[in-house]
Amino acid sequence: MEIDQLRQLLELVSKGELSVEAAEKQLAKAEAAGVQGVTLDLDRQGRCGFPEVIFGENKPAATIAATMQAQRDHGQPSLATRVSAEKAAKVTEMLEGVVYNEVARVLRWNLECSVAIRGRVLVISAGTSDLPVAAEAVETLQWMGIDHELIEDVGVAGPHRLIRHVDNLQSADVVIVVAGLEGALPSVVGGYVDCPVLAVPTSVGYSTAFGGITALLGMLNSCASNVLVSNVDAGFKAAYNAGVMLRRLKGFEQ
């Protein structure tokens, strides 16, 4: 149960407008959430700022749909990552209004009255092969209600492409840079901006890229001091942390 909901419940009890027994039933109902095989953490938003995110890989479509419905019943937007197109088709048949991004492999179900967070995030994809990870970051930002923009295919093999966007880079509050191969792009971007650069290595590259390990190590050894590195292919994780930063530092739109 959300903190505001709990406070309202306690106020009703203190005013004598709700019995202790009735309040106990409401608390038990909120705790149960009723999803078979899932212990849904409905208090995650109150503790951590955003609701629990569903990791869709290896979960049946019915479980994903039931979890999303339970979140919506409790006034929370839903995000499910790593969902195949086949499973997504079943979920969208069961739940009206759920949006699926096939490139990102993400299901999203925002509320009609979602609260917007102040600030702006720029997502940069080094190459078109990195786009699925960048798209996962974009979907996450949309779920959190954060103003964002995606710039595609501006890797270091053609440095003139990035130069065109420098003014745009410098207007962002957080930049997410998604790159594979040698993972050089975040260092270049970091040298142009005064904000955090969240680097996401991807598993794109030939054999000596080692599934993203080469890009990961390159980013960890970046000479740009404002570069922080996420796990390989973790577009969601970078975007989530961008949201946490903005929520704490800038707050919500009025």
For residue 109, the cross-strand partners are: 78
DSSP state of 154: -
pLDDT on residue 113: 60
Sheet with 78-81: strands ordered across: 54-55, 78-81, 106-109, 99-101
Tell me if residue 24 falls in helix, strand or coil. Answer: helix
pLDDT on residue 42: 83
pLDDT on residue 45: 84
Rounded Cα gap, residues 254 and 251, in angstroms:
9
Give Dmax over CA atoms of the chain in angstroms.
69
pLDDT on residue 27: 67
pLDDT on residue 112: 74
Please identify every stretch of the chain with a pLDDT value under 70, giving residue numbers as ranges. 1-5, 25-34, 36-37, 113-115, 251-254
Rounded Cα gap, residues 71 and 66, in angstroms:
9
- 129-185 pLDDT tens trace: 999 999 999 999 999 999 999 999 999 999 899 999 999 999 999 999 999 999 999
Residue whose C-alpha is closest to residue 106's, from 142, 73, 76: 142
Tell me if residue 120 falls in helix, strand or coil. Answer: strand
Do the beta carbons of residue 119 and residue 246 sit within 8 Å? yes
For residue 174, the cross-strand partners are: 121
Residue whose C-alpha is closest to residue 244's, from 47, 24, 89: 47
pLDDT on residue 3: 62
